[in-house]
Amino acid sequence: MGIVLFGVNHRSAPLEVRERLAFPADGIQDALHRLKGIPPFQEGLILSTCNRTELLAHADGHGGLEGAEAMKRFLAEERHFPVVELDRYCYRMADRDAVHHLFRVTASLDSMVLGEAQILGQVKDAYQAALQAGSLGAVLDPLLRRALGVAKKVRTQTGIARHPLSVSSAAVSLASTIFEKLKGRRVLLIGAGKMGELAARALMERGADSVVVTNRSFPRALELSQRFSGKAEPFERLLETLERVDIVISCTAAGEPILRYDDVARLIRARKNRPIFFIDIAVPRDIEARVNTIDNVYLYDLDDLADLVSTGRAEREAEAMRAEEIVRREVAVFEAWIRNQDLSPLISATRDRLESLRTLELERHRTRLSTLTAEQRRAVEELTGGLMSKILHHPIQALKRAAQLPDGPDRARFFREVFGLDEQPEDSREESPEEPAPIKRGEDDSSGHT
């Protein structure tokens, strides 16, 4: 298949590594152009979320170690990460394993929160970005569409999403454990993207009176705050706003921290040491990690949420077993499809080979056929063409069935040999004389007479 996947996720690497390897959303299309331009890749996709960065590519006739090494070098150069360290944190997969992994990821079977819905939207966004970049083709495009279809089947045919949970809602659950009640507490949401919206919704469901939203784009902050009967504050007044709140959930797409140690140290003095709780669910992180060393400042990040989101996992894992079976079936279906696609050039070459032989034989017998009328010549053309199709029908069907077997590639090579696809059609001229000599009476021993 030539499909290669190289990546890192919440199980293979800590947050400080994941944030360094994450691609900014506004830079993915340019990165895809560069990925597609690296031999041997012809197609590519980049999935970069809060918990994973994965590169998926197709290289016809290549794959495995060669493709993974090229991906490793690309990721190291793009994210300015030491290439020798990537092997400590990254995984690599090829062909069937890569397809199986992609289907599991899209169906939320590989998420920190088993069954969460957000990953499906993130894969859709990655797919759209790749479409716009022109980096999808005859293999990855149908593969991504199949992956999205698998996720839909899992969500509709199993109960894995019956009790939906997300990183955003887990963050709100953590806020609820920090304070006995959210009612009356002042909550600031930094960032107005999808994760911020999910967090705001969960906060209201848990009893928060209102949500204050700040964002670099004030109109977007205003729009989101009005949706939840909250209030918007200009991003430029962030430090001033922080003096009046108790809980901060930060989830921007900034490429570097928006709150550093010195900022929070001044803030806590202005608050007269009143405690403040930060929940940072952004990648890269919005809040400098050493902020957590300041007295009366409590900072939680994505890795801190890992234990919390495991709550209720056992119930979802029971449904996940059914989901895994759906994934296995769909991987087999895609494998069968891709094998049949791989057979198309072979089948076309076989038809062309026999058509060349048919045309050559008709040309060699042109003298004998010269007395035929135009209608009779058409009848000969139809007869020989139909005969060729009938002869090919069963071998081609057998070839398609053989493609589903483990030794399918060996059988395909044997098929090429049987039909002489690596020979030139002109070779057949040595196999038969120009004009077959007439058989004289008495020379045919096959009749049994002398």
State yes or no: is 90 an active-site residue.
no
For the cut 50, the answer to whether the pLDDT of residue 449 exceeds it is no
Question: Do 63 and 94 meet the contact criterion of CB atoms below 8 Å apart?
Answer: yes
What residue has token string 């009476």?
441
- To which CATH superfamily is domain 167-307 assigned? NAD(P)-binding Rossmann-like Domain (3.40.50.720)
Count of CA atoms in the C-beta half-sphere (13 A) of 270: 13
Among the residue ranges 43-47, 125-129, 148-152, 360-364, the one predicted with the least confidence is 360-364
Whether 3-162 shares its CATH topology with 167-307 is answered: no
- Tens digits of per-residue pLDDT, 196-239? 777 777 777 777 777 899 999 999 999 888 888 889 999 999 99
- Tens digits of per-residue pLDDT, 333-352? 898 887 776 666 777 777 88
Give the highest mean pLDDT range of 83-87, 379-383, 440-444: 83-87
Give the mean pLDDT of 79-89.
94
Strands annotated E in 202-267: 211-215, 231-234, 247-250
Looking at the chain, the whole-number percentage of residues with pLDDT higher than 90 is: 39
CATH class of residue range 3-162: alpha beta
Q: Which of 48, 47, 50, 95 is nearest to 68 (CA)?
A: 95
* pLDDT for 315: 66
Question: Do 104 and 60 meet the contact criterion of CB atoms below 8 Å apart?
Answer: no
Catalytic residue among 21, 22, 45, 50: 50
Domain spans in the chain, listed from the N-terminal domain onward = 3-162, 167-307, 334-366+400-426
Residue 330 to residues 47, 104, 143, 400: CA-CA distances in angstroms? 21, 11, 11, 19
- Tens digits of per-residue pLDDT, 101-120? 999 999 999 988 788 878 99
